[in-house]
């Protein structure tokens, strides 16, 4: 059975039309981006029908997903990922692998209005189960600004697991940076796409112009090149590496060799 998901717009009893439109635009952007991220279909798999619209102390809108013809039903996974990802952003300051930059912009539209309207919330009612809710507040806005605000740019390289490729709006893939443990957006040119597809779900090293936030964590990379990073069992052993180095001791023990050098 299809399950509706709701947006409560602030907690004020007054909402002007531009703020209502901005909130709904951000909500739709989140639904579409998580649809694309979860399903792997850039155009999405769901239609979102307005099935509830009320205004008591605040405006609450409910939408119900309906799967497009000849598409698989990802609706429950989309709603779960949206709620868990937005909650992780606000409460843990963490960005999940499914939260694209576009989704951050969408949640930023909702968070930006919280100073004027109060905190908003995305939720699924109890209906016999515990209510699931993600609150979007002024603190969410600060986290979005911290994650998306570029403070530094420098050429370099980062390594991590190539987790997702998307052509929703822009050609990019995301990796989990081995150093920061955060998701980094990697924008690439079309000529690199065949190589990127072959490296999906592998650990890669990406080089290019890196944009970092105020705390020094990479946000995005303008990719110039990438290659697969060898796993441990592919790296040469100490014995194998030793064979690559010229024998400067003439077969003698290092201790004896150093002793002879000292005597000279």
Does position 205 have pLDDT exceeding 70, yes or no? yes
Contacts of 232 (CB under 8 A, 6+ apart): none
Percent of the chain residues past pLDDT 70, beyond the cut: 85
- On whether the CB atoms of residues 88 and 37 are closer than 8 A, the answer is no
31 and 103 together in one domain? yes
- Of residues 232 and 69, the one with the higher pLDDT is 69
133 and 156 together in one domain? no
pLDDT at 23: 95
Does position 78 have pLDDT exceeding 80, yes or no? yes
Contacts of 185 (CB under 8 A, 6+ apart): 100, 101, 172, 174, 219, 220, 221
120 within a domain of the structure (yes/no)? yes
34 and 140 together in one domain? yes
- For residue 234, name the pLDDT band (cuts at 50, 70, 90): low
What domain range is 193 assigned to? 152-234
103 and 210 together in one domain? no
pLDDT at 233: 54
For residues 179-199, give the mean pLDDT: 87
- Of residues 73 and 182, the one with the higher pLDDT is 73
39 within a domain of the structure (yes/no)? yes
66 and 137 together in one domain? yes
132 within a domain of the structure (yes/no)? yes
107 and 168 together in one domain? no
- Of residues 46 and 150, the one with the higher pLDDT is 46
Question: pLDDT per residue over 87-100, tens digit each?
Answer: 999 998 888 878 87
Q: What Cα–Cα distance (Å) separates residue 152 from each residue in 104, 127, 155, 211? A: 20, 47, 10, 6
| Last-in-domain residue among 110, 126, 148 | 148
How many CB atoms sit inside 10 A of residue 238's CB?
A: 6
- For residue 1, name the pLDDT band (cuts at 50, 70, 90): very low
For residues 197-215, give the mean pLDDT: 89
21 within a domain of the structure (yes/no)? yes
257 within a domain of the structure (yes/no)? no
| Last-in-domain residue among 117, 148, 179 | 148
pLDDT at 77: 94
CATH of residue 208: 2.40.50.140
How many separate domains does the chain show?
Answer: 2
89 and 166 together in one domain? no
71 within a domain of the structure (yes/no)? yes
pLDDT at 126: 79
- Of residues 242 and 150, the one with the higher pLDDT is 150
pLDDT at 154: 92
> What is d(CA 200, CA 251) in angstroms, rounded to the nearest whole number?
46
Question: pLDDT per residue over 101-154, tens digit each?
Answer: 778 889 999 999 999 999 999 999 877 777 899 999 999 999 888 887 778 899
176 and 77 together in one domain? no
195 within a domain of the structure (yes/no)? yes
pLDDT at 62: 96
Per-chain mean pLDDT for the chain: 85
> What is d(CA 124, CA 5) in angstroms, rounded to the nearest whole number?
5
Does position 24 have pLDDT exceeding 70, yes or no? yes
Q: What Cα–Cα distance (Å) separates residue 159 from each residue in 118, 148, 197, 205, 209? A: 40, 20, 17, 4, 14
Does position 21 have pLDDT exceeding 80, yes or no? yes
135 and 162 together in one domain? no
181 and 205 together in one domain? yes
pLDDT at 238: 53
| Last-in-domain residue among 148, 176, 191 | 148
100 within a domain of the structure (yes/no)? yes
- On whether the CB atoms of residues 6 and 82 are closer than 8 A, the answer is no
187 and 207 together in one domain? yes
CB burial class (10 A; 0-12, 13-18, 19+) of residue 27? Answer: buried
73 and 126 together in one domain? yes
Pick the range with the lowest mean pLDDT from 4-18, 135-149, 229-243, 248-262. Answer: 229-243
């Amino acid at each position: 059975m299809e399950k509706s998901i709701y947006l409560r717009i602030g907690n004020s009893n007054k909402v002007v039309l531009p703020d209502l439109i901005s909130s709904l635009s951000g909500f739709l952007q989140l639904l579409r981006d998580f649809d694309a991220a979860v399903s792997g279909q850039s155009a999405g798999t769901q239609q979102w029908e307005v099935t509830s619209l009320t205004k008591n102390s605040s405006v609450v809108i409910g939408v119900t997903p309906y799967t497009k013809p000849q598409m698989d039903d990802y609706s429950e996974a989309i709603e779960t990922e949206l709620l868990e990802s937005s909650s992780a952003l606000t409460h843990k300051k963490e960005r999940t692998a499914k939260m694209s930059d576009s989704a951050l912009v969408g949640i930023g539209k909702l968070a930006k209005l919280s100073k004027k309207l109060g905190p908003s919330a995305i939720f699924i009612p109890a209906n016999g189960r515990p209510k699931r809710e993600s609150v979007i507040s002024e603190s969410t806005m600060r986290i979005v600004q911290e994650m998306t605000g570029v403070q530094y740019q420098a050429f370099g390289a980062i390594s991590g697991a190539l987790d997702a490729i998307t052509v929703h709006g822009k050609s990019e893939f995301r990796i989990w940076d081995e150093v920061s443990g955060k998701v980094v957006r990697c924008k690439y040119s079309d000529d690199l796409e065949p190589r990127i597809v072959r490296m999906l779900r592998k650990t890669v090293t990406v080089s290019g112009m890196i944009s970092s936030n105020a705390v020094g964590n990479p946000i995005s990379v303008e990719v110039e090149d990438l290659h697969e990073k060898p796993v441990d069992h592919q790296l040469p052993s100490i014995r194998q590496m030793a064979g690559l180095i010229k024998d400067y001791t003439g077969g003698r023990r290092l201790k004896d060799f150093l002793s002879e050098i000292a005597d000279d």
